[in-house]
């Protein structure tokens, strides 16, 4: 599933009410939330404004690879490292997978840290979206604080900026880079929550970012930290109204991920508890609207997770009932001809569920034959 920036209200696969692209959604979100976002533009009356432009190309109208980017992961440099002898610079984690320079093809004799460049990148990140220019109301010259000024961001909202770079790094398996950017983003949102309180927007953003931090830790093999981040994500998302499909989906996914980690750690009772919480969240959603196929699929997946744990705990009847309920739900699901992606997922989940029921039936038949 393509990672979704928590600062953009992304559409679900079959949500016909929202057809905007991610880029357009981001612009709309920035426009709608200017009064709430700590990094948004401030208003001023009777004064001129200049269009903000980042000299490194990371302005609010474009999002591209700039001079501080690693060409391998396409995110901002993290632990900048220079190849010897060609002197091309990449993230340490990215270039460590190569024997030849990806840019020029030269043999890499050794890799040296470039602390000066990394210091510049870190200072750029710290100041990004906080640097503002003052514009005079009459001649466009810089004025003192006492004059009429307009403060303009020179970049994307900082939260979106950090999350997008984290997503790029995560896709390229540069996990330390992704975790570092997300940690900064979470820190910024926590600071704003201290000032503004637990608003719906801020709790939603922090819950999503904490979930992404959990994904990073899980990918790095740090299960304990992953559980902590997912649990904190659940804490913030649970404070929000349950009428938002994206929020409830993210909440249920975080609960399932905690359940997965408990399951693989052998704590089946804890795993079942989290799977059941996720199932209840998803059941509540389809009680109010059972016409969205992806939400029905989510319920079927949660039923399968709970049933699988029940089987491992020795309660075969409860497990079989859960698998069968999920099968009945998916077989009765009506899909449009255009929903080919959803249909593929439905068939995949249905095949798994039927295999679980058939497996038990085969075991019973084998036992009967053995005692005959």
Instruction: DSSP for 295-346, please give it.
Output: HHHHHHHHHHHHHHHHHHTT-HHHHHHHHHHHHHHHHT----TT-HHHHHHH
Host H or E run for residue 113: strand 110-113
Compute CA distances 182 → 66, 169, 295, 341, whole Å: 20, 11, 28, 30
Q: Give the global pTM.
A: 0.72
Cross-strand partners of 153: 132
Contacts 24+ apart (CB under 8 A), 91-99: 91/169, 91/174, 91/177, 93/173, 93/174, 93/175, 93/176, 93/177, 94/70, 94/172, 94/174
Give the SS3 label for residue 182. helix
Tokens of 223: 């299960």
Q: Which residues pair with 132 in a beta bridge?
A: 153
Would you state the pLDDT for residue 57? 57
- Tell me, what's the pLDDT at 156? 43
The rounded percent of the chain whose pLDDT value lies above 90 is: 44
Helix (H) or strand (E) holding 152: strand 152-153
Q: How many CA atoms lie within 13 A of 305 on its CB side?
A: 31
Helix (H) or strand (E) run with residue 366 in it: helix 340-371
pLDDT < 50: residue spans in the chain: 1-51, 60, 129-156
Report the pLDDT value the prediction gives residue 58, as an integer from 0 to 100: 59
- Check residue 358 and give its pLDDT: 85
Q: Work out whether strand 152-153 and strand 89-91 pair parallel, antiparallel, or are unpaired.
A: unpaired
């Amino acid at each position: 599933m393509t990672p979704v920036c928590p600062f953009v209200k992304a559409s679900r696969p079959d949500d016909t009410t929202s057809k905007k692209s991610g880029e357009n959604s981001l612009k709309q979100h920035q426009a709608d939330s200017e009064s709430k976002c700590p990094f948004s533009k401030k208003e001023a009356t009777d004064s001129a404004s200049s269009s903000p432009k980042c000299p490194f190309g990371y302005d609010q109208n474009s999002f591209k690879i700039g001079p501080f980017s690693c060409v391998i992961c396409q995110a901002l440099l993290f632990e900048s490292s220079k190849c010897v002898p060609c002197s091309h610079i990449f993230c340490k984690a990215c270039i460590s997978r190569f024997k030849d320079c990806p840019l020029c093809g030269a043999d890499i004799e050794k890799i040296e840290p470039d602390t000066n460049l990394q210091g510049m990148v870190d200072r750029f990140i710290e100041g990004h979206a906080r640097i503002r220019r003052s514009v005079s109301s009459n001649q466009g010259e810089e004025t003192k604080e006492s004059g009429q000024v307009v403060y303009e961001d020179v970049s994307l909202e900082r939260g979106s900026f950090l999350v997008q770079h984290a997503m790029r790094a995560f896709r390229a398996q540069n996990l330390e880079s992704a975790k570092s950017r997300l940690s900064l983003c979470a820190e910024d949102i926590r600071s704003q929550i201290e000032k503004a309180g637990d608003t719906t927007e801020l709790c939603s953003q922090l819950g999503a970012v904490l979930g992404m931090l959990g994904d990073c830790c899980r990918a790095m093999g740090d299960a304990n930290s992953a559980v902590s981040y997912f649990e904190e994500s659940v804490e913030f998302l649970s404070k929000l109204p349950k009428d938002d499909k994206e929020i409830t989906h993210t909440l249920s996914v975080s609960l399932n991920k905690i359940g997965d980690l408990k399951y693989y750690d052998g704590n089946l009772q804890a795993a079942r508890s989290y799977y059941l919480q996720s199932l209840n969240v998803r059941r509540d959603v389809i009680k109010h609207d059972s016409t969205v196929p992806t939400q029905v699929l989510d319920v079927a997946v949660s039923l399968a997770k709970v049933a699988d744990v029940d089987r491992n705990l020795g309660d075969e009847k409860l497990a079989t009932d859960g698998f069968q309920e999920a099968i009945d739900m998916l077989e009765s699901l009506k899909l449009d001809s255009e929903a080919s992606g959803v249909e593929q997922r439905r068939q995949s989940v249905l095949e798994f569920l039927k295999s679980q029921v058939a497996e038990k039936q085969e075991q019973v038949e084998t036992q009967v034959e053995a005692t005959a």
